């Protein structure tokens, strides 16, 4: 799962993209303008930015330049009708990582996103193995000693994030930022509820102590 920020003033396209990205396992949020997008990028964490070239007031190129100048490192895909060589060159020189010209197939965009997520240092394997548990991030299943157990989407996303960060103490706020939409009304109580559900499934697999709670620090999976 990746948390994606779509920056586009075309509401119909953005809504269609959000639905499509959800079907392939991602979570997508939307900004209508460059100013809103930069504010969201300052406040929240994203894995990929999909950025339209033509935006009101502030162009996509200006957004990209400003974000990179401020130290932002999240991969950026330009999504635009501008296909001239000099414009492609300008977008990439401004700090974009990829470029997709409209009209395009949603499957191609999804493939470009997967490609960016595979790049070092953020190598994101679909299958994770920690302490005897194998998590299939795509199928949302865990396997222990050959037995398979299914997870609900939020359970899988929580477990995936923590298994990608073993031995790191994750606070409730960090888990909210990584797994829930930025405008969510979810709270630390939400994390506790979903963590309780996840631990019930882990207990069925004989791994009830896989996720440990640390007072004042949050949750940790020890490698």
User: Do the beta carbons of residue 24 and residue 1 sit within 8 Å?
Assistant: no
The span from the CA of 194 to the CA of 154, in Å, is 7
Same domain, 51 and 146: no
Please tell me the predicted confidence (pLDDT) of residue 69: 84
Give pLDDT tens digits for 119-175.
654 445 578 889 999 998 878 899 999 999 999 888 998 998 899 888 888 899 888
At residue 114's C-alpha, the angle toward residues 109 and 119, to 5°, is: 125
Model pTM?
0.59
Would you say residue 10 has pLDDT above 60?
A: yes
Same domain, 114 and 8: yes
- pLDDT bin (cut points 50, 70, 90) of residue 177 is confident
Please tell me the predicted confidence (pLDDT) of residue 123: 43
Same domain, 114 and 178: no
Same domain, 133 and 165: yes
Domain count along the chain: 2
Backbone angles phi, psi at 219, to 5 degrees: -130, 150
Which CATH number belongs to the domain containing residue 23 in this structure? 3.40.50.2300
Q: Which residue has the higher pLDDT, 141 or 80?
A: 141
What does 154-205 look like in DSSP terms, one character per residue?
Answer: HHHHHHHHHHTSTT--B-HHHHHHHHS-TT----HHHHHHHHHHHHHHHHHT
Pick from 95, 118, 141: which residue ends a domain?
Answer: 118
Please tell me the predicted confidence (pLDDT) of residue 187: 86
Helices (DSSP H) in 70-168: which residue ranges? Answer: 85-93, 106-118, 153-163
Range of the domain at 186: 127-220
- pLDDT bin (cut points 50, 70, 90) of residue 84 is low
Can you name the residues that pair with 30 across neighbouring β-strands?
A: 6
Same domain, 7 and 111: yes
Would you say residue 110 has pLDDT above 90?
A: no
The span from the CA of 165 to the CA of 223, in Å, is 9
Would you say residue 82 has pLDDT above 80?
A: no
Same domain, 152 and 211: yes
Please tell me the predicted confidence (pLDDT) of residue 196: 93
Work out the average pLDDT over 75-79. 89
Please tell me the predicted confidence (pLDDT) of residue 215: 79
When the pLDDT of each residue in the chain is averaged and rounded to a whole number, the result is: 86
Same domain, 8 and 114: yes
Peptide bond connecting 121 to the previous residue in cis, omega within 30 degrees of 0? yes
Same domain, 137 and 53: no
Same domain, 10 and 109: yes
Work out the average pLDDT over 28-52. 91
Pick from 63, 91, 118: which residue ends a domain?
Answer: 118
Would you say residue 217 has pLDDT above 90?
A: no
Same domain, 109 and 168: no
Which CATH number belongs to the domain containing residue 164 in this structure? 1.10.10.10
């Amino acid at each position: 799962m990746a948390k994606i920020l779509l920056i586009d003033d075309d509401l119909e396209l953005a809504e269609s993209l959000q639905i499509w990205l959800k079907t392939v396992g991602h979570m997508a949020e939307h900004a209508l303008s460059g100013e809103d997008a930069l504010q969201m990028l300052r406040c929240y964490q994203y894995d990929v930015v999909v950025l339209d070239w033509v935006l009101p007031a502030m162009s996509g190129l200006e957004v990209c330049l400003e974000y990179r100048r401020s130290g932002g490192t999240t991969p950026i895909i330009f999504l635009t009708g501008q296909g001239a060589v000099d414009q492609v060159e300008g977008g990439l020189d401004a700090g974009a990582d990829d470029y997709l010209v409209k009209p395009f197939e949603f499957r191609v965009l999804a493939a470009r996103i997967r490609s960016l997520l595979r790049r070092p240092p953020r190598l994101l394997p679909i299958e994770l193995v920690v302490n005897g548990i194998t998590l299939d991030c795509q199928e949302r299943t865990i396997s222990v000693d050959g037995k398979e157990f299914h997870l609900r989407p939020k359970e899988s996303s929580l477990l995936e994030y923590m298994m990608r960060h073993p031995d790191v103490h994750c606070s409730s706020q960090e888990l909210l930022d990584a797994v829930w939409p930025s405008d969510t009304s979810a709270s630390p109580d939400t994390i506790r509820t979903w963590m309780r559900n996840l631990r019930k499934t882990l207990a069925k697999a004989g791994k009830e102590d896989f996720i440990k709670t640390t007072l004042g620090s949050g949750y940790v999976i020890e490698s």
